[in-house]
Amino acid sequence: MNGALLVCKKEFLELSKDRRTVFFTFLLPLVLYPLLFAMVGGLSRTDEANRQGRASRVVLVDPGGVLTSALKAEPESFELVAPPAGDLRQAIRDQRLEMKIQVEADAPLKLSRHRTFTVTAACDPSEEASGLALTRLRKILEKQNRRWVEERLRLAGVSPELDRPSRLETQEMGDLGLKVGRTLGAFLPYLLMLMMFAGSMQHGIYATAGEKERGTLLSLLSTRLPRHQIIWGKLLYVFAVGLLSAFINLLSMGVSIGSVVRAGAEGQAMSAGSLADLARPSTLGLTFLLMAPLGLLFANFIVMMGIRARNSVEAGTSIMPGMVVVLVMAVFSMAPGLEKLAFLPYVPILNVSLAIRKLFSQQGNAFEFWVALLMTLGLAAVMTWLSTRLLNRETSVFTV
């Protein structure tokens, strides 16, 4: 095992000498995601604040004056402007105003006779500002309608609750912590798999096909190190880089989207217990326990393909389909209702996703967990054996 550790150390030393690769693999994600999220979040917040903070400019044609006072009473929502010169449609498109409101001329008469009058709103909902003006108008009309109905009922000497026989009150029994857990459980395996595979792929190619290409593999093979220790060292390296890469990416992403989740959590019920369950060391530990053999399986696949390939390009093109398979399976694993499929615990990779999903939604199933773990471990062991055999094949090392 000492030889394997030495080979792994050599790979890490070699990696550490390439500052650019170290930066792009381990440091850039730490900077990139927070920057990206901060930039996008900042822009969207500024835009939202601009839209929400500005009154919608509307042209109001209300000969009877039934809505004028209501709109004027909310200056933060509506700014009454003069009709534009020229085409109204173009004026909305040019963002000179958001909407034109036309109230029927005989609205006061219809109102007094307890009949319905029409309010026509000319707007372009595809423009966000125009859509917001429409929402604001709907709200104000709803309030105004309620007031008129209550007035009519009062005049008729009837209870104002006549038109409201029942009222629905909802009590939120769910827990935001659990909700977050379910969402996280669905996305986490996908992200982990993808990052582990993508993060280790290039390093695996460099350490295998790259060594062959550069003519350094033979130097390594000519030492007294047993072949299996050389391959284990390379596996350990690819595996460790994959895990590190996934961890760093997730950490950075987690920190970046943490603020978004926190903002969404405001005012919602989230028990301290379920949040603690999410971050419970056992949940995280069991997730790691499941992901580790999967990472080893990926590392084995990459190393095996890398050793079999004659050069880096060939290695890259033969590993890529494997990445697509992982990607498709990972996307499939996010599908809702997937956990109901009875055969799923026996499908490699997918069973790991399912088990992690259940861990995070606090529906952990010991049988499914062990099946996923043992199956992935078994596959990783078989792949390790195959990789070792492959390195022992002279045709894998020498071009005849």
Partner 1 sequence: MIELAEVYKGFTVRDRKTRQKKRIEAVRGVSFSVHPGEIYGLLGPNGAGKSTTLRLIAGLMQAERGLIRVGGFDAGREPEAARACVGYLSGDLNVYGRFTPREFLRLFGQFQGMQARVAEGRALALLERLGLLDFMDVRMEGFSTGQKQKVSVARALLHDPRVVVFDEPTTGLDVLTAKTVLDLLRELRAEGRAVIVSTHVMPMVEDICDRVGILFDGVLYGDAPLDQLLAARHARNLDEVFFQLAGEA
Binding site for partner 1 (CB under 8 A): 3, 6-7, 9-10, 13-14, 17-18, 214-216, 218-226, 394-395, 397-398, 400
CB of 383 to partner 1, least distance (A): 24
Distance (Å, rounded) from C-alpha 285 to C-alpha 283?
A: 5
The owner of tokens 């030492």 is 223
| Three-class SS state of 155 | helix
Q: Closest approach of Cβ 236 to partner 1, in Å?
A: 15
Tell me if residue 122 falls in helix, strand or coil.
strand
Judged by beta carbon, residue 225 or residue 344, the one nearer partner 1 is 225
Query: How many CA atoms does the CB half-sphere of 287 hold within 13 Å?
Result: 28
Query: If you write DSSP's letter for every residue of 31-68 in order, what string do you get?
Result: HHHHHHHHHHHHHHHHHHHHHHHSPEEEEEE-TT-TTH
Q: Are 311 and 397 in contact (CB under 8 A)?
A: no
What is the rounded CA–CA span in Å between residue 152 and residue 158?
9
Please identify, using beta-carbon distances, which residue of 219 and 311 lies nearer to partner 1. 219
Nearest approach, Cβ of residue 10 and partner 1 (Å): 6
Q: Please say which residue, 159 or 223, places its beta carbon nearer to partner 1.
A: 223
Nearest distance from C-beta of residue 224 to partner 1, angstroms: 4
Nearest residue (CB) to partner 1, 8 versus 329: 8
Of 287, 199, 191, nearest in space to 22 by CA: 199
- The least CB distance from residue 229 to partner 1, in Å, is 10
* CB of 59 or CB of 309, closer to partner 1: 309
Q: Give the C-alpha separation, 323 to 194, whole Å.
A: 8
CB of 226 vs partner 1, minimal distance in Å: 5
Task: Quickly tell me which residue has 């195959």 as its tokens.
Answer: 386
Q: Which is nearer to partner 1, 17 or 262 (CB)?
A: 17
